[in-house]
Amino acid sequence: MTAEAYDTVIVGGGPAGLGAALYLGRSRRRVALVDSGDARNMAAGVMHNVLTNDGVTIADFRARARAEISRYGVEFLDDEVITVAPEGDRLVTTAKEAGALRSRTVLYAAGVRSKLPDVPGLAALWGKGVFECPYCHAYEVRDGHFGVYGGAVPGECLAATLTAWTSSLTYLSDRRELPEEEQGFLAASGVKIVPEKIAAVAAHPDGVAVDLTDGSVLTFTALFLHTDTEPRVEPLRPWLQAADLTSVQTDERGRTSLPRLYVAGDLGKNMQQAAMAAASGGLAAMAINADLVREDRPGALYDLPPAAH
């Protein structure tokens, strides 16, 4: 590494970070992308709803994306970011192996972590029979019998949405008291409600087995649930005082109130989907390039290109 500052260091090598790297590399910016390789969607193995990449493995997508982007001089570091902090008119990203990387801007696209319910066996099946996103996984198990876990994070809307893929649905309330309105909502959607507490989840030849505390066992083709998430922003402490980056994001192009720090992907104000994350990376990259042009050439007023090409 040279002492010369990068134009941008990108933290996170998922669709958002890769999309930004492509835009910035083609904008002739000096870019380093640092990725720890433990993204949230790795458990799923494959990705969907991305044109020309529907159903490809995540590993293959990332490898091909890196090969394409490398043509534009972007550097890739398989490393873990420890801290990101301001230093004068630059930002310093410190990685475990590479050390300090100085840059004019940082695009933070490290994503979020899913906080799974504390149900024995559930984590082992995450992405392999237990899913969150119906648009990513329901088609492959269409017309099966779906369970919807509605414990700590309610999933009534998820259950109703899943009726697009199957007419056989069971809502597992896990002893959570359902308001009358929500019970009616599920009934109107044709969803059966099982109130018993869940004891454990295990793999089954037909998909997923759910053991209930009353001794009964239910089997499903797949189990769906909503999860809480936590932002992966530890390297930004204590510079980032807020709980997450959404609260400091100032526009839809990823700018934040923290000088020279931008955000894209699941950490920003966008739906947590691969295609949308990639698009948010492109928007943030254009904002970064526009802001650097303004800095280098005072009076330059453009932001996005005048027309799409």
Query: How many whole angstroms separate alpha carbon 203 and alpha carbon 74?
Result: 42
For residues 166 and 245, state if they share a domain: no
Last residue of a domain, one of 186, 207, 225: 225
Q: Is 49 among the domain residues?
A: yes
For residues 129 and 176, state if they share a domain: yes
Please list, in sequence order, all residues whose beta carbon lies within 8 angstroms of the beta carbon of residue 174, skipping any fewer than 6 positions away: 149, 150, 151, 196, 197, 198
Q: Is 20 among the domain residues?
A: yes
Burial 189-215 (b: 16+ CB within 10 A, else e): bebebbebebbebbebeebbbbbbeee
Residue 50, domain CATH: 3.50.50.60
For residues 219 and 235, state if they share a domain: no
Domain enclosing residue 141, as ranges: 117-225
For residues 193 and 93, state if they share a domain: no
What digits encode the pLDDT tens for the residues 80-89? Answer: 999 999 999 9
Query: How many whole angstroms separate alpha carbon 72 and alpha carbon 140?
Result: 36
* Strands 228-231 vs 90-95: parallel, antiparallel or unpaired: unpaired
Q: Is 131 among the domain residues?
A: yes
What digits encode the pLDDT tens for the residues 224-278? Answer: 999 888 999 999 999 999 999 999 999 999 999 999 999 999 999 866 789 999 9
What digits encode the pLDDT tens for the residues 19-48? Answer: 999 999 999 999 999 999 887 777 778 999
3-state DSSP assignment of residue 226: coil
Q: Is 301 among the domain residues?
A: no
Last residue of a domain, one of 204, 225, 246: 225
What digits encode the pLDDT tens for the residues 63-121? Answer: 999 999 999 999 999 999 999 999 999 999 999 999 999 999 999 999 999 899 999 99
For residues 288 and 257, state if they share a domain: yes
For residues 38 and 175, state if they share a domain: no
- Name the nearest CA neighbour of 58 among 44, 46, 41, 43: 46
For residues 105 and 241, state if they share a domain: yes
Query: How many whole angstroms separate alpha carbon 105 and alpha carbon 32?
Result: 11
**Whole-prediction pTM:** 0.91
Based on its alpha-carbon atoms, the radius of gyration of the chain, rounded to whole angstroms, reads: 22
Last residue of a domain, one of 194, 225, 256: 225
